[in-house]
Amino acid sequence: RDTKTEVGHYIGDYIARRINTFVPSEGHANFVLGCPTGSSPLPVYARLVELYKAGKVSFKVINMDEYVGIPRDHPESYHTFMFKNFFSLIDIDPKNTNLLDGNAEDLYQECEAYEAKIKAVGGIDLFLGGIGADGHIAFNEPGSSLKSRTRIKTLAYETILDNCRFFNNDLAAVPRMALTVGVQTVLDAREVVLVVTGQNKALALSQMIEGGVNHMVTASALQSHPWALVVCDEDATSEL
């Protein structure tokens, strides 16, 4: 697609088609959408909000990740991000949203319970994802096992630098750790759609698609997924 808006429109419509052809079954009553944060999915959420308001879609959400070390109501927590950019705009019933709690007393237990929650809703039908400039998916930083599941992850220096813009460019304010679904958790989704836009993602996109499957570019694991789609704008394709 030519622009970020067109990418968002395309993916939003694509997800709506999937939701509308979803057939409920025992233990899997709702379409389950895996959701990322970041600037790339914003046009997708904008399109889904339009469709939701027109009464065209309904779904359950499982979020990808959350920072550890900042309160849930911090302006840059992923909890705040999701409510501000998506959930509050569609007035979704909070019982249909699921986010990792980066302030849980027992973070290990929180991660284990999250995997169980994903199973309990019947698995993820479609995981929407973005990509980090270092090729990560969710917060699966370079070096993550491609078999990983939801866990605590120390953020790579490149990610901390990248995300500094959201914390008034104050490097010290950026959380050092996060909870994230694992690469295998993403691979377990029935379908994965990756939104990749902007010149700053060109290198990561080419490594992910044209390099081999490897744990230094964790998004490359999608090469082995039977049903993965990458939707990008012109800028992101410049290294392909």
Note the residues at the interface with ligand GLP (CB under 6 A). Answer: 36-40, 64-65, 130-132, 138-139, 159
Q: Looking at beta carbons only, is 104 or 133 nearer to ligand GLP?
A: 133
Catalytic residue among 110, 134, 188, 233: 134
Angle at 192 between CA 154 and CA 87, to 5 degrees: 75
To the query of whether residue 235 is one of the catalytic residues in this protein, the response is: no
Other C-beta atoms closer than 10 Å to the C-beta of 8 total: 24
Residue 28 CB, shortest distance to ligand GLP, in Å, is 25
Closest to ligand GLP by CB, 40 vs 77, is 40
Residue 234 known to be catalytic: no
User: By 3-state DSSP, what share of the chain in percent is helix, strand and coil, each rounded to 5?
Assistant: 40, 20, 40
Residues 6+ apart with CB under 8 A from 185: 115, 118, 148, 149, 150
d(CA 196, CA 35): 14
Closest distance between ligand GLP and the C-beta of residue 218, in Å? 11
CB nearer ligand GLP, residue 138 or residue 228? 138
Nearest approach in angstroms of CB 139 to ligand GLP is: 5
Residue 233 bears catalytic tag: no
First to last CA, the chain: 15
CB of 47 to ligand GLP, least distance (A): 16
Residue 136 annotated as catalytic? yes
Q: In this structure, are residues 160 and 196 in contact, taking their beta carbons and an 8 Å threshold?
A: no
Q: Which residues are catalytic?
A: 65, 134, 136, 141
